[in-house]
Amino acid sequence: MPDRVAWFMGKLLEKIRSPRDLRQLSRPELDSLCEEMREAIIQTVSDNGGHLASNLGVVELTVALGLVFSPPEDALVWDVGHQSYPYKLLTGRYNEFSTLRREGGLSGFPNRDESPCDSFTSGHSSASISSALGLSEACRLQSKDGYVVAVIGDGALTGGLSFEGLNNAGQHRRNLIVILNDNTMSISKNVGSLARYLTYMRTKPGYIKAKSSVEDALGHLPLVGKPIARLMRRVKSNIKKILYNSTIFSDLGFAYYGPFDGHNIKELSETFEAAKLVRKPVLIHVRTYKGKGYQYAEQSPTLYHGISSFDVDTGDPGEKAQSFSDVFGQTLCQLAREDDRICAITAAMAEGTGLAGFRQQFKGRFYDVGIAEEHAVTFSGGLAVGGMLPVFAVYSTFLQRSYDQLIHDVAMQKIKILLAIDRAGIVGEDGMTHQGLFDVAFLRTVPGVTLYSPTYFQELREQLAHLAKDGSGICAVRYPRGRELYKPSYFHSGIEPFSVYGPPEAETCIVTYGRLFSFVAEVADKLKIRGTDVKLLKLNRVIPIECAAAREVISCRQVFFFEEGIRQGGAGEYFASLLLEEGFAGKYVLRAIDKPFVKHAPMFRALETLGLNAGGIMKTVLEHFREEEDRLAEKEA
């Protein structure tokens, strides 16, 4: 008894080193632990920002998983992963939890480099069933024990990859457990108390063991055993269809159980224990409530899905500066008032991409297709062929999923659609799964793409209007997360492919596009104060880049190119090839992102680390100036 008293001195969370420690807690203590977990999540997210509502909704579910399964021996795969905070708290990361989403701290998503309990790194939706099936098969092939569990939300089921995984997993002959965390819609009808009671009875371990024993015994009876077993299965299947209306999961080969209360630890843990005994894939349907335990998140789960720091007592996130997403949404509404062909498409990100206003004003022309970016692009192609002008607003990182559709279903057919590529470049605390660093490189490989990259709000307005009116093929505008930065007095907006600033005779030119132009302009202004004039070449249109842009800098002795995107296949490499073709004989310095899986850190801190803020750009330029001076001095000597 004294040991047990010592164990529970202080916070319960401080005593949890692994999910196995949960088994020493009583039911009241588990309830207290859930309260502590919610307090820790609310406080940390209020300080650091992050995903709040989704994590508060899975606290009891996570505890129940920890009571029944033993990671890392058992693999738990969290779909998307933005609901993994409670799991981090129970897998030895409580003492580091205050560092969540901070530079050098815990990731906001599961990460295999962070903990052996994170079975699969995730950040994009709908992949958990496929990866869990792969893990399960790897266990079978290596004769390893252990269970594999995928936790997927109902929203993620709108992604086609989840159904590909379900279809393949349903043919699996091993125990694979999929937990459907349903927090917004009812997938299966509750057909009354009898069906609920039978569901409860079917998930009792005693029932499953008895069922397995009967099936084994019948299988060994000569002549009549197997026919009787088949007859029993047919009768049972027909009864289930009458009582449960069947489910798509059953049709795909899963044993379906549910729905269950996702906040009832006892019911969940008993169900999970039963599921371990089933000799086939199992889908357990649980109902949870986003934001549970924090009234502001309960009332506005969408607002508190992904949020910046906020006041815990009032729920107030403070004033939000106007962002590129806001300006895009306002501009699209204006264009839609003038052109009734314009339709807006989002993949479950209406608020995040600035389309909430469009949804209200043009309900008939607004489409939320769910987490299905591939479908969104092909759907846009169909709208366009039918005479509409579709605008698909999507985060850069999620557009990656639509590469084949862009080529096959749009570009090949010379169809016009508009892509509003939000969160292009470094996004910050969401980390490597969400950085928007690949779009320029992969869109450069798609024939017929026109891509603009504005630095300022007015450019975004003008470029979007220009593409809507005069563009052809795949037209795109990419813009960063957040607000405008430094704008020099000499800047002029426009839709021309490129703009040149500074003295024509300058021996040094700095080339860039998008957000980095603000930093480059700062550097140019500081260099001018020091007595050094540089020419600036701003690429307004990144795809295609005109040869004339290269000819503008052909006479310079040094050309610097700074790019907030991957180096390989990016605009900087292509610009170098144009210079080579034009006979450039000077020095070319390209600074882009060589290691594109950039870890989480505040957005401007990440840019600083990469040498892509004003300070980093100045340092690169001055270093090469000094090298050039040293080279000339040596030559004269």
Whole-model pTM: value is 0.88
For the chain, residues with pLDDT lower than 50 are 1-9, 185-198, 201, 239, 241-244
Q: Where are the alpha helices (DSSP H) in 351-418?
A: 356-361, 373-385, 396-399, 403-405
3.30.1490.190, 3.90.1170.50, 3.30.1300.10, 3.40.50.970: CATH of 2-185+249-295: 3.40.50.970
Q: Indicate if 498-636 has the same CATH topology as 2-185+249-295.
A: yes
CATH number of 324-478: 3.40.50.970
End-to-end alpha carbon distance in the chain: 86
d(CA 244, CA 262): 20
User: Which DSSP string corresponds to 9-51?
Assistant: SS-SGGG-SSGGGGGGS-HHHHHHHHHHHHHHHHHHHHHH-EE
Q: Cβ contacts of residue 17 below 8 Å, gap of 6+? A: 92
Angle at 578 between CA 494 and CA 479, to 5 degrees: 40
Return the number of other C-beta atoms located less than 10 Å from residue 364's C-beta.
7
Residues constituting the chain: 637
Question: What does the block give as tokens for 478?
Answer: 């990419």
pLDDT value of position 425: 98
**CATH no. for 498-636:** 3.40.50.920
587-619 pLDDT per residue, tens: 999 999 999 999 999 999 999 999 999 999 999
* pLDDT at res. 3: 45
Active site residues per annotation:
290, 373, 401
Residue 183: its pLDDT value, please?
85
Q: What is the pLDDT of residue 174?
A: 85
Say what the pLDDT of residue 320 is.
84
Q: What is the predicted pLDDT for the residue at 233? A: 59
**What does the domain layout of the chain look like in residue ranges?**
2-185+249-295, 189-246, 324-478, 498-636
Question: Which CA distances in Å does 621 have to 523, 580, 612, 614?
Answer: 9, 21, 12, 11
Q: Give residue 231's pLDDT.
A: 62
